[in-house]
Amino acid sequence: MGEWEFGRLVYLGLLLVAVGGWLVVEHRGRIGAALRQLLAWGLLFLGVVAAYGLWSDIRTQVAPRQSVMEAGTQIELPRAPDGHYYLTLHIAGTPVRFMVDTGATEVVLSDRDARRLGIDPETLVFTGRAQTANGVIRTARVRLDEVTLDGFPEGRIAASVGDGPLGMSLLGMDYLNRFSRIEIAAGRLVLTR
């Protein structure tokens, strides 16, 4: 331990003795009340320290998940706490959250998202197959109209509806190839047209 650390330790010890002595003198006969107040202030302090320490995690939940810059030519996505990148497209006015998947060839809707868009999976013909992290699933081709990204029109998008254990819709290379550059740096995925 160096001189500075020892000096700081002595200073903090003297400060603790002074504050503790003042509390004892001030609250003679009411030590229980003083200890309760001290405990309340200590818990409040710990709460502030915990909130400050967790701010980076809280901020990713409070802040927007994606931002469009330069008149729709560049999209920036922060990495989610689970390590993936997510992009929200509006399809016929309905927001659909996709997991960006550079390993997927096409855009694949989960059966839940397909139903939200008014597509009944029971009426589709599942002639395709796709290999997912959860195994092989059957797929049916669909066409998505009125697709926008934060207000910028994307046109029509070919997609598939998965008939199987697909927990989330996937945004594959069919869509990502619309961008001239895909860059991952400093916890951000940047898509540039």
Amino acid at 85: Y
120's tokens: 């009944």
Is the CB of residue 139 less than 8 Å from the CB of residue 162? yes
**Is the CA virtual torsion 89, 94, 95, 97 positive or negative?**
negative
In the prediction, which pLDDT does 64 show?
Answer: 44
In the prediction, which pLDDT does 79 show?
Answer: 86
In the prediction, which pLDDT does 143 show?
Answer: 93
**Is the CA virtual torsion 166, 122, 174, 137 positive or negative?**
positive
pTM higher than the cut 0.85: no
Where do the structural domains in the chain lie, given as residue ranges?
3-53, 64-192
Segment 71-115, tens digit of pLDDT:
667 888 888 888 889 999 999 889 999 999 888 888 999 889 999
In the prediction, which pLDDT does 22 show?
Answer: 78
Give the C-alpha distances (Å, rounded to integers) separating 129 from 59, 125, 154, 160: 39, 12, 26, 10
| Domain covering 64-192, topology | Cathepsin D, subunit A; domain 1 (2.40.70)
40's tokens: 């309340």
Beta bridge partners of 109: 161
**Backbone dihedral angles phi then psi of residue 62, each to the nearest 5 degrees:** -85, -40
Is the CB of residue 170 less than 8 Å from the CB of residue 103? no
In the prediction, which pLDDT does 25 show?
Answer: 78
Amino acid at 43: L
Q: Among all chains, which residue has been given the structure tokens 């320490």?
A: 53
**pLDDT under 70: residue ranges of the chain:** 1, 55-72, 165
Strands 169-171, 94-100: pairing is: parallel
Question: For residues 104 and 111, what is the distance between their CA atoms, to the nearest angstrom?
Answer: 17
Question: For residues 64 and 86, what is the distance between their CA atoms, to the nearest angstrom?
Answer: 11
